[in-house]
Amino acid sequence: MRKRVFNQIILIVMAFIISACNNVSSSNSTEYQVIEKYVSNAISEDGVVVTPFNTTISLTMYNSKDTNEYFPLFEEEVLKLHKYFDRYNYYQDNTGKRISNLKVINDSYGTNEEILINDELYDLLNLSLEMTKLTKGYFNPTLGGLIDLWSDKFFLIPLENTDPDNDLITEALKCSASKENIDEVIVLNPIKKSVIFNKIDGCNGKVIISLGAIAKGYAMEKAKSLVKDVPSLIDGGRSSLIATGTNPNPNRDTWNLAILTPYTAINLGVLAIKGELTFSTSGDYEKCFYIINDDGSLTIRHHILNPSTGYSENYYRSISLLSDGNAGVIDALSTALFNVNDIDIIDEIVKNVEDYYLLDIEFLFEKEIIIDGKKMIDVIVNENFWNLIVADSISSVVNIVNILE
């Protein structure tokens, strides 16, 4: 009898072991899981902890095997590129030697020193010069001095603040290159992969190169090449996105992206896209403040500065761009277009960029209007972009849709 009891207990225990084994096998390394991992901070030469690209960059993959294989490579690449593109800090390489990064280039302003730089920094500077010309100067990589006047005033949400002194803004504008002279200010040598940072006549201070509007997208694009076709989302600070591969979500095969309105918790709609995509959005509702005008009305000041005026523009509340690649270009373009009020010029700039980089770019602009005291959104959008929006997802705050062919 004892033997029988023992056998029955053994059977019960085995049943539980089998059950436990089933649980283990169901959570194997290729099982569908949404895993988002963030790039860690960099450490500067002075020991300062620095957030890469001053934002959060993450890689989302859909099983632990892919995450474990690709995230370390992704993180290493993003950190490396951040160190070269950072204009605030020095960094050292593995041998303890200071690397020739953007801060080193800015230090050389006006000295006529030729700085040898790595391929990626060279490419990024070259891309910045190209984008300056293709966007008719609405994108400008030499606004560092102007940005520094404004950046401490911006807040995550709109709070009251005051403009910088207008005289300082005027002086800062004198220390920025134009689309006409930028090739003479930032002189690149494609053979030697070097740069000479020349003086601008009439600038009493320093010209400072700032690649904040393009560097993060460029880095994401470079990091994308490591991920290849493995399904993933590369998120650059919630303003840029690259999707690779096909969404492995068991419920759908499209990547579904929300398009924001300026209003908290209200999405304009949802984009549903199959396969690889590059998306960038710029809005005036983060990194901003407001001023109170003499008549009591409010004007929003935000982080996208017009290279011509030195102030931010209020033509749009938000711009979203969708493309089939080149996140650096798309980020720079969304920044540039925020300063353009004329739809014909927008069309011309977008076409310039499409032709030059062989891209298909769709855009959506949101303008705020007030009807009977209620805030609504006018939308200006490409037909192709509009067709990708899930019809029943469109918000009731949308007033008019101007669809451009």
Partner 1 sequence: MDISLRKNKTDLFIVIIAAILVVFFVAINLFYSNSKDNIISVYYDNEIVHTMYLNIDEEYIMDKEEFPLLLDRMVIEVKQGRVRIKEEESPKHYCSIMGYQSQKGTSIICAPNSVMIIIEGYEDTGIDWTPGGAA
| Residues binding partner 1 (CB under 8 A) | 1, 4-5, 8-9, 12, 16, 33-34, 36, 38, 40-41, 49, 51, 55-56, 155-157, 213, 233, 235, 237-241, 243, 247, 249, 251-252, 255-260, 267, 270, 279-287, 303-304, 318, 320, 331, 334-335
Closer CB to partner 1, 44 or 267, in the complex = 267
* SS3 category, 240: strand
Distance of closest approach, residue 215 Cβ to partner 1, in angstroms: 12
Distance of closest approach, residue 294 Cβ to partner 1, in angstroms: 27
Q: How far apart, in whole angstroms, are the C-alpha atoms of residue 239 and residue 47? A: 29
Distance of closest approach, residue 12 Cβ to partner 1, in angstroms: 5
Distance of closest approach, residue 385 Cβ to partner 1, in angstroms: 15
Closer CB to partner 1, 100 or 382, in the complex = 382
Distance of closest approach, residue 108 Cβ to partner 1, in angstroms: 28
Closer CB to partner 1, 156 or 191, in the complex = 156
* SS3 category, 209: coil
Closer CB to partner 1, 318 or 382, in the complex = 318
Cα separations in angstroms, 103 against 11, 83, 182, 226, 285? 70, 10, 18, 27, 29
Closer CB to partner 1, 36 or 184, in the complex = 36
Closer CB to partner 1, 100 or 281, in the complex = 281
Give the contacts of 31 (CB within 8 A, at least 6 positions apart): 63, 64
Cβ contact 220:75 at 8 Å? no
* SS3 category, 98: strand
Q: How far apart, in whole angstroms, are the C-alpha atoms of residue 239 and residue 207? A: 27
Cβ atoms < 10 Å from Cβ of 329: 29
Cβ atoms < 10 Å from Cβ of 193: 15
Distance of closest approach, residue 312 Cβ to partner 1, in angstroms: 13
Q: How far apart, in whole angstroms, are the C-alpha atoms of residue 63 and residue 243? A: 16
Comparing CA positions, the residue from 325, 333, 330 lying closest to residue 276 is 325
Closer CB to partner 1, 195 or 268, in the complex = 268
Distance of closest approach, residue 191 Cβ to partner 1, in angstroms: 34
Closer CB to partner 1, 49 or 391, in the complex = 49
Give the contacts of 349 (CB within 8 A, at least 6 positions apart): 134, 135, 136, 138, 333, 336, 337, 340
Pairing of strands 398-404, 374-382: parallel
Cβ contact 233:248 at 8 Å? no
Distance of closest approach, residue 213 Cβ to partner 1, in angstroms: 7
